[in-house]
């Protein structure tokens, strides 16, 4: 469990802008005049501080998240369907699945219309069929440059489980039955 002193130090740093500004300026001035040995010692102290306050930071973050659910939901809504939001979500999925990832926000362009189904892409609360979705064209390659496309969530769901041949068979069957 985090010590009370570490928790106070962490809260003071994050809740007082003047303290934070003074501390950052002090660090800039101090670091500019350090010798190599002093820089090494400074880095060791920095690592020790972050190790000591890890639990306090976790507790503080959980407390903040519990008190600010509306802010978190608004931020999540703001990111939904944006290049930044698609990149953040893809990076998490790549890390979890052990896939390659080297995308930048500039690699992700969200079109106005789904290139597969031709439906208008829209960002709405929750997931809908016309929500922008990041597709890996070749699933074996991961989220890498040149292997992604932004398509509708509906198109991605349809594409996810079948091969091109299976999709063609389904389309032929639907046409034979007069379904569109």
In a domain, 92, yes or no: yes
Residues 8 and 32 in one domain: yes
- Whole-angstrom Cα distance, residue 115 to residue 97? 27
**Counted domains in the chain:** 2
**At residue 59, does pLDDT exceed 90?**
yes
> What are the tens digits of pLDDT across the range 114-128?
988 888 998 877 778
- Domain housing 91: 81-166
Residues 33 and 105 in one domain: no
**At residue 163, does pLDDT exceed 90?**
no
Residues 6+ apart with CB under 8 A from 112: 120, 121
**At residue 107, does pLDDT exceed 80?**
yes
Q: Identify the burial level of 91 via C-beta atoms within 10 angstroms of its C-beta, where 0-12 means exposed, 13-18 middle and 19 or more buried.
A: middle
**Residue whose token pair is 């091109």:** 164
Q: Which long-range contacts (CB under 8 A, 24 or more apart) does 152-156 make?
A: 152/114, 152/116, 152/117, 152/119, 152/121, 153/127, 153/128, 153/129, 154/114, 154/117, 154/119, 154/129, 154/130, 155/114, 155/116, 155/117
In a domain, 175, yes or no: no
In a domain, 94, yes or no: yes
In a domain, 14, yes or no: yes
Give the rounded distance of the alpha carbon of 161 from its chain centre: 25
Choice among 17-21, 61-65, 144-148 with the minimum mean pLDDT: 17-21
Sorting pLDDT into bands at 50, 70 and 90, what band is 166? confident
Are 133 and 83 a contacting pair, CB within 8 Å?
A: no
In a domain, 177, yes or no: no
**At residue 140, does pLDDT exceed 60?**
yes
């Amino acid at each position: 469990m985090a010590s009370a002193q570490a928790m106070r130090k962490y809260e003071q740093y994050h809740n007082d802008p003047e303290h934070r500004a003074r501390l950052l300026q002090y660090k800039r001035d101090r670091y500019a005049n350090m010798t190599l040995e002093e820089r090494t010692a400074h880095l060791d102290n920095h690592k020790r501080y972050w190790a000591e306050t890890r639990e306090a930071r976790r507790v503080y973050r959980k407390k903040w998240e519990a008190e600010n659910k509306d802010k978190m939901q608004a931020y999540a809504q703001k990111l939904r369907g944006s290049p930044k939001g698609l990149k953040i979500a893809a990076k998490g999925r790549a890390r979890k699945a052990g896939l390659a990832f080297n995308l930048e926000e500039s690699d992700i362009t969200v079109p106005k219309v789904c290139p597969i189904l031709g439906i208008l892409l829209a960002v709405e609360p929750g997931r809908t069929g016309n929500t922008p979705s990041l597709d890996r064209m070749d699933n074996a390659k991961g989220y890498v440059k040149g292997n992604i496309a932004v398509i509708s969530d509906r198109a991605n769901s349809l594409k996810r489980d079948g091969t091109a041949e299976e999709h063609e068979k389904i389309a032929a069957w639907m046409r034979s039955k007069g379904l569109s």
